[in-house]
Amino acid sequence: MSLDLDGKKGRAHNLTPVTAATIAAVTAATFDSGDFDNAGNLMLQCDTSAGDVDLGLLPVSLIDGSGAEALEDGVRLTAIKVNATAGRLTFTDPITGIVYNYADRRGESISLVFDTSTGIGRWVAEI
């Protein structure tokens, strides 16, 4: 994996938290605060009141405002739990197989990086 952000800087985030039911439906429009088209860092607020949010369901394609693919090798996404329920943020790393399910308190987060080293985009745990 290389860090190739082609001048992407800044951050975009969502104002309405995603849930277990909406995580797979994340689009560019989900990130409705900041400059999504030029962001190299994404923050995803997650509401776990309806159950665990599986970050493995995140899309591997997000089309920006110009119609181009926004996910480039090295784009970073930090998912943050925004409520104090028992639900967790979970993620199974496709490289190591390690299951992350520790984000169970409000404010805890996990960071993922978009990886294209296999020729097919995928989210991997940031190391």
Give residue-wise pLDDT tens across range 52-96.
999 999 999 999 989 999 999 999 999 999 999 999 999 999 999
pLDDT band at 7 (very low <50, low <70, confident <90, very high): low
Arithmetic mean of pLDDT, 10-38: 96
- Are residues 80 and 11 in contact, defined by beta-carbon separation less than 8 angstroms? no
* Residue recorded with tokens 């080293």: 117
Which residues on neighbouring strands pair with residue 80, listed in sequence order?
45, 109
User: What is the C-alpha R_g of the chain?
Assistant: 14
Q: Is the pTM of this model over 0.95?
A: no
- Are residues 88 and 47 in contact, defined by beta-carbon separation less than 8 angstroms? no
Closest CA to 113 of 123, 101, 100, 103: 123
pLDDT above 90 (res 104): no
What's the pLDDT tens digit per position in 67-79? 999 999 999 999 9
